[in-house]
Amino acid sequence: MRRFVLIALLTLFLAPGLAHAVTPDEMLKDPVLEARARNLSQELRCMVCQNQSIDDSEAPLAKDIRLLVRERLVQGDSDKQVLDFLVARYGEFVLLKPPFQVQTLLLWGLSPLALLIGIGALFLMARRRKTVIPETTALTPEEQRRLTGIAAADSPRPLIKP
């Protein structure tokens, strides 16, 4: 919830006291495991917060999940197993990057689709313009003759001023 400071508009919502997210006592001794835990934490949502990862959140629930993640990692789970475990427990709401599924089809697909449609539309428009405006062709002999005639008729006044 603390994030609302950004636009200073949602002051109606009270911010809870600010403390630390990850605290020294919950960190793992093994730096490799700890790094994995931190990476996973950034992908997981603190469910009682507003769009905040458990890595950033100081809510007690976030701390519980952080500890849970570390517990699973110590027991030898892979990153995917940890995520699956949490999804089974808390639902997909816990993932900050929703998986590609039927319900999220538009979420993932709309922008690439729009880009493709945009490119396609531009391509078509460029082609159509080409056909509408034909390339300038050379004058036919008949036109050339008439033009010379007109120029000759105008002759006392030079066409191009010196």
Residue with smaller CB distance to other proteins, 4 or 85: 4
CB neighbours (10 Å) of residue 20? 8
- Strand-pairing partners, residue 53, are 45
Q: How far is the CB of 13 from other proteins (least distance, A)?
A: 7
Amino acid code (one letter) for 151: A
* Residue of 30, 67, 98, 128 interacting with other proteins (CB under 8 A): 98
As a whole number of Å, the CA-based R_g of the chain is 34
Residue with smaller CB distance to other proteins, 52 or 82: 52
* Residue of 48, 67, 114, 139 interacting with other proteins (CB under 8 A): 114
Token couple for 41? 């934490």
DSSP 5: G
Distance between CA atoms of residues 75 and 63, nearest Å = 18
List contacts with other proteins (CB under 8 A): 2-25, 27, 42-43, 45, 50-53, 56, 91-98, 103-104, 106-108, 110-111, 114-115, 118-119, 122, 126, 129, 133
